[in-house]
Structure 1
């Protein structure tokens, strides 16, 4: 009898991301130099804690990292990405800033960038599918963009 092959369990990290748009620009944050993917840019958000809802996670992370309160959290989709040592499961929400002005409290820097500018920034591989989606959606007329996003949501269900 042959021994069973070694099965490596890859941990899953659950992350809530915010797509905060203001005047056709998206809020992005630069990771601190000492962080994983230090110096890269990312969308605001962070790791979900046990027994925490996705929405509560996002509100907490934006308060801690940027000093803002958000409203109108609308689901924008889910993404999965696998790195050699971990899997990331994202829940993405569109939201608006309700109170406060974003400040880099837990990040190295923040910027507002258009969809067309996003590919010029260096993002971790896990964020690239979201950037492609925003870039595609941002370059289409509103009615066509809505049809595509609705179809994408239906196909994932």
Structure 2
């Protein structure tokens, strides 16, 4: 099972979501940004690296939020979500087509990647 991380970045009561690029698996789906954990890397190190690579942002990783296990046609993943805060930088897209800052009430209206749906639902239940 692949382990993958996701950053839940909340700023001014809005949540950052990113749309997967047209050349990526699950193209067009919305997700919390993050990526695969490399060998000898902690989830927190992975998130910092992935957010820098994908969005050109430096983040501080906060507390663990929750996990979601999902089986895709090409294998099972365990998605580990952490709260994170932007420390430095302006968003520059490299693998995503778009990012949006959305309210907790709007978030479920986006077509989320299947592994992210459970996290979206839990986050909505906790924030409201």
Tell me the C-alpha RMSD between the 2 structures: 1.1
Alignment of 1:55-134 (within 5 A): 55-134=44-123
TM-score (norm 1): 0.78
Runs of 5+ in structure 2 lacking a partner? none
Q: Which has the higher helix share?
A: 1
* Cα deviations by residue, 1:35-84 (Å, 9 ceiling, x for unpaired): 11101111010011111111110000000000011114211122211223
- SS at 1:108's partner residue? strand
Gapped runs of 5+ residues in structure 1?
1-11, 140-157
Structure index of larger Rg? 1
Matched pairs, number: 128
Alpha carbons 1:103, 1:110 under 8 Å: kept: no
> 1:90-125: CA deviations, max 9, x gaps?
111101000012222221111101111011111111
Distance 1:28 1:108 in 2: 11
Which structure 2 residues correspond to residues 40-55 of structure 1 after superposition, within 5 A? 40-55=29-44
TM-score, normalised on structure 2? 0.94
CA separation of 1:120 and 1:69: change in aligned 2, threshold 3 A: same
Equivalent residue for 1:33, pick from 19, 22, 26: 22
Judge conservation of contact 2:53–2:94 (CA < 8 Å) in 1: yes
Query: After the TM superposition, which segments of 4 or more aligned residues of structure 1 sit over 4 Å from their partners?
Result: none
